Amino acid sequence: NAGVTQTPKFRILKIGQSMTLQCAQDMNHNYMYWYRQDPGMGLKLIYYSVGAGITDKGEVPNGYNVSRSTTEDFPLRLELAAPSQTSVYFCASSSDRPTQQYFGPGTRLTVT
């Protein structure tokens, strides 16, 4: 099993550009999450999904969108990138509540 994978690993965006951060898991987990981690800070939940076709907002959803068309994939869309979105983004999944969340390797995003 590859576990949770994320692409790209690094990305630099200009202000106003858009991009999609990809996340996939091969563990057949129903629950998936997107977090952001600012330098020296903890993890804040952006969006989560409890299954294909079901998503909901977390603590800091503004400026982001998600979709969940399959169990495996949970992409995060950034529209009109802003410097405040400079962060490390982690995707995670879990099989049920509450169990261990498995994290992907992260995407380091810089918006300049």
The nearer residue to another protein, 44 or 82, going by C-beta atoms, is 44
**Minimum distance between the CB of residue 96 and another protein, rounded to whole angstroms?**
8
Nearest-CA neighbor of 85 among 44, 45, 42, 38?
Answer: 38
**Minimum distance between the CB of residue 22 and another protein, rounded to whole angstroms?**
16
Task: Find the Cα–Cα–Cα–Cα dihedral 57, 62, 52, 20, rounded to 10°.
Answer: -160
**Minimum distance between the CB of residue 76 and another protein, rounded to whole angstroms?**
16
The nearer residue to another protein, 26 or 79, going by C-beta atoms, is 26
The nearer residue to another protein, 41 or 80, going by C-beta atoms, is 41
Pairing of strands 107-111, 10-13: parallel
Q: Give me the residues that bind another protein (CB under 8 A), please.
A: 31, 33, 41-45, 48, 50, 56, 58, 90, 94, 96-101, 103-106
Sheet holding 19-25, edge to edge: 4-7, 19-25, 76-78, 64-66
